[in-house]
A and B are shown apart, each in its own frame.
Chain A
């Protein structure tokens, strides 16, 4: 096998010159760039979280606030992350021309995403009894970061709704589906950000 491995690192000039990336539509690149800039924004917020965390007293969260309980956020994570599956299925479906799969997949994604937001609302109601954004910097960070993410989920739901309406109006087929693809990309991005938030804000303090 090492012979093969070495062969992989020794391609011919013609192979190296293969054009990658190539053939992507302008809208695809537009969404990639938009996701890049939004990802950087989340990165700045998470970096600020860690910056303030390690500047402070070893006690974290601050001010006697309890370390976040994990059961509800874990359920939320399962729901949100699993929603990427019907989204991908819908995306792949319309590429093969199956409008039915598109509509069903979008609907399932929507339900899961909306459930996530509903649970997050419930989580907020519970948490707000203990601390608010104005309690201290921890409170500010927690609500700002999860709230910003939640807003992105809401925008994602609106996008899915919009694409769903158009799917029912017959706007998509096996050759025209760019907006489904870009919506799916956005949705997967929102899911990925949640993983980072989960690890940083929820699981992190327990370590």
Chain B
């Protein structure tokens, strides 16, 4: 009979990946992959941020002359595309990758190799798209890339190729990640974690993942059709030959509207993770928050035409979408009410994570209100394509995604690094960002109503827009300094931050039941939960520590996780997870060859990618010795 000590040692051995450079390419550990997503997404955030600063500097004064129209088109296109596709979702998936298994009491994601693969594809697709800057031909048709401007007739150059091929490539990563989150949440929960006890952050990720599964195909179909039109002379969007440019818009927004919820829902999940902890009480309306998350994700598929109210569609069809657009605000509002109720009935602790949450609450409601205004067709048709739109979506997307992400940095980084960030610098960063953000984007409501169109590289003086634009630019620089402060704070914390310990905040969910950072196997014994707030259960820690004595609970076989049932999380069996391997990287490289070759019309290169992918997949699916019958 093995002792606890022997079992713990075996656990550490089977879960610790070999040190060294090779391991860096072969890792399948969700914590390492999560950190990579966060780092890489931060780099893309910085790039897109500089693109924004460049645009704001150009627009500070009328007829500034710093940036010409061609370059400006590339800047606003890549700013939006990078922020949405290469920063927001990957960053949130990064936090999801790190914390979903921990919050579920699991030792890894359901498909560790798929996880690694998803990261490599994200990295390669992001690099591919941004490589376009090296030849001065970045995508320049706007982040929603409307035809016929982006079709073969008006933009034959390769700029748009980077967009279509890049996003087709990236879509593989997003979908793989989503499937991984779904299956992990279905099958790897701690015993006792029935549906009504799943942490709200995990519910948010689950709703998001389902939205990805249903929304990405529309974008992929769209981009594939545009690629075929551009490269091979097809006619999907060519009205002279029976095609229709409006088809691009329908498919794009069929993806695009769910996408904004794909971005916002995980961020709202972060808020739901933070509010109970910093209100020192369980969430008021846990049930209503689950309902709101799922309902929002579902309804988001029925509102896409509200991005097309100015296209000339029949009124009756627009009314379907207007109806859904009005109703989708209900679950949104429910979330706000639940959070506010929890804060009011609790004892508020205003540390930096909670400051960002409060700032988020105030400004997100403002953004939501202008959103309701857009659901009213006549109003929408007046302000379409003006700076009012820019103001609205930054209020919901910047506030809705970036503020919670910053809150997560202050809340969760200590778990990842083992060190707390500095509170004073955190508060300074918050005020710079909150104040700067409002100075940057509030004036855009006004300049938009005064008629300033979006996507213009300059404007004439004397239209009443000058002062607002200057104010915005000042705000942009304040925001930039605010981010710098958080970045410096993070670096400082690595060396000089106070050690976090297991649970610096008095948290309620399972990630706080293990060390900071967690050991490779996350939990020495598989936790059992009896509520949605395991760490606040009576004597939870004692019971978990005691469980180490049980061989069954310690699960110290070879790299094992516990599979549980879908709805009630009753234990099913132990399953063995794969070891580190180079195969996911090889398959990702095969795809890079295929997509890269396609982009530059080198079809032999593209074809060469196919056998690499197939061979890699065969190696991936080949069973290990232990999996074969005797």
Direct A–B contact in complex, judged by CB atoms less than 8 Å apart: yes
Does A207 sit within 8 A of B, measured CB to CB?
Answer: no
Does A36 sit within 8 A of B, measured CB to CB?
Answer: yes
A45 touches B187 (CB 8 A): no
Does B6 sit within 8 A of A, measured CB to CB?
Answer: no
Distance between B572 CB and nearest chain A CB, rounded to angstroms: 6
Given A19-B568, A136-B235, CB of A62 within 8 Å of CB of B629: no
**Contact among B225, B567, B621 for A48, CB-based, below 8 A:** B225
B234 touches A140 (CB 8 A): yes
Of the four ranges (under 10, 10 to 19, 20 to 34, 35 or more), the interface on chain B belongs to 35 or more
Interface string of A150-188 (1 = CB under 8 A from B): 000000001000100010001111011001000000000
Given A52-B243, A158-B614, A176-B628, CB of A44 within 8 Å of CB of B217: yes
Does B111 sit within 8 A of A, measured CB to CB?
Answer: yes
Complex: how many Å from CA A62 to CA B179? 40
Residue of B nearest to A141 (CB): B236
A45 touches B183 (CB 8 A): no
B221 touches A33 (CB 8 A): no
Given A21-B566, A173-B629, CB of A55 within 8 Å of CB of B233: no
Which B residues lie within 8 Å of A137 (CB)?
235-236, 238, 241-244
B182 touches A48 (CB 8 A): no
Given A33-B182, A144-B234, CB of A51 within 8 Å of CB of B244: yes
Of the four ranges (under 10, 10 to 19, 20 to 34, 35 or more), the interface on chain A belongs to 35 or more
B235 touches A134 (CB 8 A): yes
Does B369 sit within 8 A of A, measured CB to CB?
Answer: no
Complex: how many Å from CA A52 to CA B247? 8
Residue of B nearest to A148 (CB): B224
Residue of A nearest to B254 (CB): A44
Which A residues lie within 8 Å of B251 (CB)?
44, 48
Does B627 sit within 8 A of A, measured CB to CB?
Answer: yes
Given A29-B187, A36-B213, A52-B247, CB of A19 within 8 Å of CB of B179: no
A171 touches B213 (CB 8 A): no
Does A11 sit within 8 A of B, measured CB to CB?
Answer: no
**Contact among B232, B566, B568 for A24, CB-based, below 8 A:** B566
Interface string of B166-180 (1 = CB under 8 A from A): 000000000100110
Does A116 sit within 8 A of B, measured CB to CB?
Answer: no
Does A138 sit within 8 A of B, measured CB to CB?
Answer: yes
Which B residues lie within 8 Å of A176 (CB)?
627-629
Complex: how many Å from CA A135 to CA B232? 11
Which B residues lie within 8 Å of A51 (CB)?
244, 247, 250
Residue of A nearest to B236 (CB): A140
Near A by CB (< 8 A), chain B positions 537-576 give: 563, 565-568, 570, 572, 575
Interface string of A1-34 (1 = CB under 8 A from B): 0000000000000000001111111100110011
A-B contact pairs, 14 of them (CB 8 A): A19-B566, A19-B568, A19-B570, A22-B568, A29-B183, A48-B251, A51-B247, A62-B241, A134-B233, A137-B238, A137-B243, A158-B614, A162-B621, A171-B628
Q: Which B residues are closer than 8 A to A by beta carbons?
A: 110-111, 114, 175, 178-179, 182-183, 186-188, 213-214, 216-218, 220-222, 224-225, 228-229, 232-236, 238, 241-244, 247, 250-251, 254, 563, 565-568, 570, 572, 575, 614, 618, 621, 623, 627-629
